[in-house]
Amino acid sequence: MIAPHYPRAQRGATLIVGLIMLVLLTLVVTSAFMLSASNLKAVGNMQFRNEAIAAASKAIEQVLGSPFTNAPGAEDINVDIDNNGSIDYVVNIAKPECVRATVAAPGASSSLALSMAMSTSSHWNTVWDVVAVVNDAVSGASVQMRQGVRVLLTQSQKNAVCL
C-alpha cells in the first residue's frame, strides 16, 4: 500500500486559519460586550434623569397645590418616587416669583360666581414662575424645571406679594 503524499506547503494551514478565526471571533465578542455595557450605562443615566424630572414635577405640583401666594418662600421638598417610604430625591424649590400682574376684567371669567365677586372688588391676574432644582449625589443626575402658573389675587393680596 502506498501512503498518500501531501504537499509540504499545505501542512498546518488549517491550524493557522482556525487561530485567525478564533482571534476574530474573540474581537467580535469583546466589542459586543463593550457596546452593551455602554448602552446599559446610557439607559441607566436616562432612567435617573427621568426620575429626577418626575421628582421635580411632583414637588412643583405640591407647591402649586398649596397657598404659596400667601407667603412665597424657598423650600426643600423630600420626594419618594417609588413609594417605599424612603426619600429618593430632595427638590430645591426657589422662592416663587410674581412675574406679572394685570387687572382682571370683570366678566372675562367663565364662572358666574367669580364674575359677580370681581364686580365688587378689584382682582388681578398674576403670573408666577416656580423653579425646581434636583441634584442627586448618588446618580449624578441634575435637573432644573420651570413652571409658570396664573393665579387670581385680590388687590390686597397682590400688593402684599407682587411688587
Task: Name residues whose C-beta falls within 8 Å of residue 121's C-beta, 6 or more positions apart in sequence.
Answer: 154, 155
Indicate whether 106 belongs to any domain. yes
Looking at the domain assignment, is residue 2 inside a domain? no
Buried b (16+ CB within 10 A) or exposed e, 73-108: eebebebeeeeeeeebbbbbbbebebeebeebeeee
Summarize pLDDT for 103-148 with one digit per residue, the tens. Answer: 987 655 544 445 444 444 689 999 999 999 999 888 888 999 999 9
| Whole-structure pTM value | 0.71
- Where in the sequence is the domain holding 147, given as residue range(s)? 8-161
Q: Enter the C-alpha cell of residue 86.
A: 424612603
* Average pLDDT, integer, range 66-90: 92
DSSP secondary structure string, 106-155?
TT-SS-HHHHHHHHHS-EEEEEEEEEEEEE-TTT--EEEEEEEEEEEEEH
Q: Give dist(CA 146, CA 154) in Å, integer.
A: 25
Residue 43 has pLDDT above 70, yes or no: yes
Burial of 123 (0-12, 13-18, 19+ CB in 10 A): buried
pLDDT surpassing 60 at residue 66 = yes
The domain tally of the chain equals 1
pLDDT digits over 141-155, tens only? Answer: 899 999 999 999 999
Judge whether 47 lies within some domain: yes
1 falls within a domain: no
> 139: which residues sit within 8 A by CB, 6+ positions away?
45, 48, 52
Position 30 in a domain: yes
Any idea what the Cα angle at residue 62 is, between residues 147 and 70, rounded to 5°? 85
Residue 69 domain flag = yes
